Chains A and B, each alone.
Chain A
Amino acid sequence: MLRILHAQKDYHGDTVLDVPLLELERGIYWLKGANGSGKTTLLRMIAGMSSFKGDIFCGDISLQKSPVHYRRQVSWADAEPAYPAWLSGSELVSFYQKVRKASPQQIGELVTFFGMQSALSRRIGEYSDGMVKRLSLLLAFIGETALILLDEPLATLDAEAAGGLPDLILRYRQERGTSFLFTSHQPLTSGELPLDGTLLARDRTVQPVI
């Protein structure tokens, strides 16, 4: 499902991440690692948000050769999302719905799941950090992507939303075949979310934990 080939990220001449080869089958994966180990950098590379040497494939689709087609397969939720304060939540959701060609039914379900019904009409500048986080997760689940990347999805979420997230992940996995790769310093699984693998970011590379 995901193949990372000779992917190398440099900052100011220093290599911060070098992944010669990493292949993941469809499933749910937990990317672990200490602060600054390159977890977010890797997710940003996979999401097509950050330039790098090498290539990443989702199925057979190359990020470097078919960036638009590739990005149709992958979505992402930032650890510390930032959106324009002068837009309303519903404007962003509508934009994502249009770009990701999502059905109104899916949008309705997600809005209900994340408890955003009353907040969507308000400007994002009026949201709390937790509401912005909920919005970013909602946006990441919009559409029919093959892979959803979640960077610290539990950060700033309240207990209710955090408790429900594994259920949503599992439902997307079972009903739509969506794969997930997430980072989290807290356990996300709650015993009900079957992990297909764990990855470890360390020493400027990422490897599966066997």
Chain B
Amino acid sequence: MMDSVVVRSMVLPFYRQNGGLLAFLFFMMVLAVGRANDVGLLEYHFSLIRGMLTTVAFLGFVLGAWLLYAWKCAQFVERLLLKPEFSFLYLLAQVDRTRAYRGLLWVQVLLFLPVLSYAVIVLAVGYRHHWYVGSTGVLVFNLGVCLGAAHRYVMLVGKPGVGRSSGWWKLPLPAVRSYGGFLIRYVVTRRKLLFLGIKLYSCGMLYLTLPGQTGDETGSRMGLLFYSTGVLGHGVLIYLLKEMEESRLAFYRGLPVSVGQRFVQYGWFCLFLLIPEMIILGVFLPVSAAVFLFSFSYSLLLLLNSLRFAGFDRKIDFLKMVAGLYLLIIIAVMTGMADWVFRA
């Protein structure tokens, strides 16, 4: 009974909060790949797993991404425990430590389920093809994450009020006086993991799109498609931003600021989000192609941001709209409309 309450209290809110992000990733990794990739879904994932288990750098990149997700889970639990409505969870400190550990390990397994599910497939493929070193690395990593996280949760419930690391708060952030600055501050303090994950993916895919990385036009097309998923991935950030604005920055609606000035603030914010991509574009691409790809990314972000105000309030509606945009991009790329970028 107690375990069930703990699991429902800690796991359901996580998926309620992050359901949109996970559904988006699932769509991009499974449904979109099936549509966009000539070689098919299974072959695509097989080549992905092979690359992961036979190339150290690629394995490191994937484990890094999984670690970010694990960190996100841990942060969620820490914040949850600090909320007054979940203070009853500290009762776990009064039950047998082994039992509490077992319950919290189960919580971590459920939170980490999206990664664990894929890891099981990776392990099955890896051991079948005798890629023992990489497979064992994946196994040890996932065991370590789950056992370590459960240990941390047990420590947290044993010390009520202790939790969220305060290091970031001590960093001297520059003072902000503009609305765009408020939004940027939100991203770099409250959504930094999500932001980092999106940037790693988006910039990585952008690098693959560069001429000479893939050797042929088909590879570049795929790179551009995956880069597009990275840009559209910012939609998750933008959706969360809107939720925050509704609850914490509602006062802005009552201030005497024109629509034009409001749009400029969002414009600066979207520009800030794309700084890493701008650096890659500026360094590696000729001006014309860089301008095209930047304009594509920037206008897509502004469009996502504007659509938030156009009735796409519900998560599912927003997700459908993002999926629709992605299908349009697939059509544009696969019909060769953007090929001149690769030849530039």
CB-based contact B248/A75 at 8 Å: no
Given A82-B247, A84-B186, does the pair A91, B175 have CB atoms closer than 8 Å? yes
Q: Which residue of A lies closest to B248 (CB)?
A: A84
* Interface-located stretch among A8-16, A24-32, A93-101, A164-172: A93-101
In the complex, A48 Cα to B256 Cα: how many Å? 10
CB-based contact A86/B189 at 8 Å: yes
Is B254 an interface residue, CB under 8 A from the partner?
yes
Given A86-B185, A87-B182, does the pair A95, B254 have CB atoms closer than 8 Å? no
- Interface hits, A44-82 → B, CB 8 Å: 47-49, 68-72, 74-76, 78, 81-82
Is A202 an interface residue, CB under 8 A from the partner?
no
Tell me the minimal C-beta distance from A56 to chain B in angstroms: 13
In the complex, A48 Cα to B249 Cα: how many Å? 14
Across the interface, which residues of A come within 8 angstroms of B94, CB to CB? none
Is B258 an interface residue, CB under 8 A from the partner?
yes
In the complex, A68 Cα to B256 Cα: how many Å? 5
Q: Which residue of B lies closest to A96 (CB)?
A: B255
Across the interface, which residues of B come within 8 angstroms of A88, CB to CB? 175
Across the interface, which residues of B come within 8 angstroms of A6, CB to CB? none
CB-based contact A71/B255 at 8 Å: yes
Tell me the minimal C-beta distance from A1 to chain B in angstroms: 18
Across the interface, which residues of A come within 8 angstroms of B178, CB to CB? 95, 98
Is A123 an interface residue, CB under 8 A from the partner?
yes
Across the interface, which residues of B come within 8 angstroms of A68, CB to CB? 256-258
Across the interface, which residues of B come within 8 angstroms of A83, CB to CB? 248-249, 251
CB-based contact A98/B169 at 8 Å: no
CB-based contact A87/B256 at 8 Å: no
In the complex, A75 Cα to B190 Cα: how many Å? 29
Query: Which interface class (under 10, 10 to 19, 20 to 34, 35 or more) fits A?
Result: 20 to 34
CB-based contact B250/A49 at 8 Å: yes
Tell me the minimal C-beta distance from B205 to chain A in angstroms: 30
Is A139 an interface residue, CB under 8 A from the partner?
yes
Contact of A84 among B175, B244, B255 (CB under 8 A): B244
Is B253 an interface residue, CB under 8 A from the partner?
yes
Across the interface, which residues of A come within 8 angstroms of B177, CB to CB? 91, 94-95, 98
Tell me the minimal C-beta distance from A158 to chain B in angstroms: 21
Q: Which residue of B lies closest to A78 (CB)?
A: B251
In the complex, A125 Cα to B232 Cα: how many Å? 31
Across the interface, which residues of B come within 8 angstroms of A71, CB to CB? 254-257
In the complex, A100 Cα to B254 Cα: how many Å? 11
Across the interface, which residues of A come within 8 angstroms of B186, CB to CB? 84, 86
CB-based contact A76/B254 at 8 Å: yes
Q: Which residue of A lies closest to B178 (CB)?
A: A95
Tell me the minimal C-beta distance from B258 to chain A in angstroms: 5
**When each residue 174-197 of chain B gets 1 if its CB lies under 8 Å from chain A and 0 otherwise, what string results?**
011111001001100110000000
- Interface hits, A143-164 → B, CB 8 Å: none
Q: Which residue of B lies closest to A81 (CB)?
A: B251
Tell me the minimal C-beta distance from B172 to chain A in angstroms: 12
Is A90 an interface residue, CB under 8 A from the partner?
yes
In the complex, A48 Cα to B255 Cα: how many Å? 9
Given A84-B182, A87-B176, A94-B177, does the pair A48, B254 have CB atoms closer than 8 Å? yes
CB-based contact A48/B185 at 8 Å: no
In the complex, A85 Cα to B190 Cα: how many Å? 10
Q: Could you say which of A72, A85, A99 has the most chain B C-beta atoms within 10 Å of its C-beta?
A: A99
In the complex, A99 Cα to B255 Cα: how many Å? 7
Tell me the minimal C-beta distance from B175 to chain A in angstroms: 6
Contact of A95 among B179, B189, B244, B258 (CB under 8 A): B179
CB-based contact B182/A48 at 8 Å: no
In the complex, A99 Cα to B265 Cα: how many Å? 13
Across the interface, which residues of B come within 8 angstroms of A75, CB to CB? 254
Across the interface, which residues of A come within 8 angstroms of B176, CB to CB? 87, 91, 95
Across the interface, which residues of A come within 8 angstroms of B254, CB to CB? 47-49, 71, 74-76
Q: Which residue of B lies closest to A99 (CB)?
A: B255
In the complex, A76 Cα to B252 Cα: how many Å? 11
Q: 4 tightest A-B contacts by CB?
A: A71-B256, A72-B256, A86-B189, A84-B248
A-B contacts, 27 of them at CB < 8 A, read: A47-B254, A49-B254, A68-B256, A68-B257, A68-B258, A71-B254, A71-B256, A71-B257, A74-B254, A78-B251, A81-B251, A82-B248, A83-B249, A83-B251, A84-B182, A84-B185, A86-B185, A86-B190, A87-B176, A91-B175, A91-B182, A94-B175, A95-B176, A95-B177, A95-B178, A98-B177, A98-B178
Given A78-B251, A95-B178, A123-B169, 10 new contacts (CB under 8 A): A48-B254, A78-B250, A83-B248, A84-B182, A84-B186, A86-B189, A90-B175, A91-B177, A95-B179, A99-B256
